[in-house]
Structure 1
Amino acid sequence: MAERLLTAAEVAELLGTWKTNGERFPRRLIAERRIAYVKVGRHVRIPASAVDAFIAERTVQPVTTRRRPLRKVA
């Protein structure tokens, strides 16, 4: 079975940018070739796996710090 291809509007909804910019952000990603896409005739579609990879590459893990015991003052 073929992978699901998403429109720019669907990608914007997945990324949470639909309310502020509409399709502008996904279209900019396509224009700057920062995300994989497929041309179907004159339509541009983005594979769902490309969106998942885009999110995974930009996910920042939290920094965990070890707590050291407080030092006693003289």
Structure 2
Amino acid sequence: MPVYLTPDQVAAMLPGLTRGKLAQLRFNGTGPNYRKPTPKTVLYVESEVIAWVESSARWGVGARAA
């Protein structure tokens, strides 16, 4: 069963992410997937938020292939 999180809970679990920034990401379509079961309710699935963060992994630009 999925674990649903509010925007406040998502912002609290991710350092540097505010509720306002999360709203901007929703508006731009660049944030984690979300659900809107009612017009004023936004929910996130915890595993999808984690997958979104993991998809942003970067390996650095300093190491170049020989």
- TM-score, normalised via structure 2 length: 0.73
Structure with larger RCO (C-alpha < 8 A, sep 6+):
2
Identity %: 20
Q: Secondary structure at the match of 2:10?
A: helix
Aligned to 1:44: 42
Select the structure of larger CA radius of gyration: 1
Deviation digits for residues 5-49 of structure 1 (CA, Å, limit 9, x no counterpart): 11111111111125xxx3111111211122210112130101112
| Structure 2 residue runs without a partner (length 5+) | none
Q: Report how many aligned residue pairs link the two structures.
A: 61
SS in 2 for 1:40: strand
- Unaligned 5+ segments in structure 1 are 66-74
Question: Using the alignment, how far apart are the partners of 1:16 and 1:10 within structure 2?
Answer: 11
Contact 1:17 1:25 in 2 (8 A): no
Q: How does 1:20-35 map to 2 (within 5 A)?
A: 22-34=18-30, 35=32
Alpha-carbon RMSD: 1.9
The normalised TM-score by structure 1 is: 0.66
Q: In structure 1, what is the equivalent of residue 16 of structure 2?
A: 17
